[in-house]
A and B are shown apart, each in its own frame.
Chain A
């Protein structure tokens, strides 16, 4: 049985408060990855890979369904550089040497301007300028 002396002594002892420890060094350790977080990271990686794959497939020339892309492809085809083969065939077909040269030098260039817009060069070409 505790005596009144014991209780008084206990009360006296409880007046001594234990010292508080230093703060936890939480910054030294990163919390461990949870399984959900790991799954999330894997999922995001897989989604990014799929999106990149789709983008790569869509921009491949000749397989694109986009109208703008097809216009650009046409323009590029028209603006191809003159080869020796083309030059020889033009010389063979042309009525004269001068006409063949004119065709090679001033053949119609493909426009890089979209269909619904006009190029400044085309507009200026229509104007009659007196020299």
Chain B
């Protein structure tokens, strides 16, 4: 196996391992799943073409940073500041809890951008606050406090939505 094939195999492995969390992260920034997926594909295809992943010390954090840059660049080009469209699913819900999935998606969409990024990176991206701080160019204390605020808001929002669903039944 030569250098190019090894590089391709590693990138495919990283795509299988982190693709879902990266897609969720991109969806949480752009809202639309198709655009988020385009951004993820674009990043990985560039990595395959350039083959410079070995230079990254923390590959997972590097991938999240690449996705964030790609998505933000695309948003700058299109000059769009539309509210998040959350019509398509982001998650595979436990016990086919479709309502829970929709509530979670909407609760995440209601969060401020900076808090939504941190909560997704920490829970589903499984990045530490130190890694998140490095990625977003903030302090780890700021990352941790954003996370706590986000978690509290999510819990309130989801319980409110569940109650409203229960009342409407």
Q: Which of B68-125 contact A (CB under 8 A)?
A: 89-94, 100-101, 104, 123-124
B4 touches A16 (CB 8 A): no
B92 touches A17 (CB 8 A): yes
- Closest A residue to B155 by beta carbon equals A9
Chain A residues in 8 Å Cβ range of B124: 14, 18
- The main secondary structure of chain B at its interface with chain A is helix
A15 is an interface residue with CB less than 8 A from chain B: yes
- Closest A residue to B15 by beta carbon equals A24
Number of interface residues of B (CB under 8 A): 33
Binding site for A on B (CB under 8 A): 4, 8, 12, 15, 19-24, 33, 37, 40-41, 44-45, 48-49, 89-94, 100-101, 104, 123-124, 148, 151, 154-155
Give the docked Cα–Cα distance between A93 and B131 (Å).
109
20 example contacts (A-B, Cβ-Cβ < 8 A) are as follows: A6-B148, A6-B151, A9-B154, A13-B154, A17-B91, A17-B92, A18-B20, A18-B23, A18-B92, A19-B24, A19-B90, A21-B37, A21-B40, A21-B41, A22-B37, A24-B15, A24-B45, A29-B45, A31-B4, A31-B8
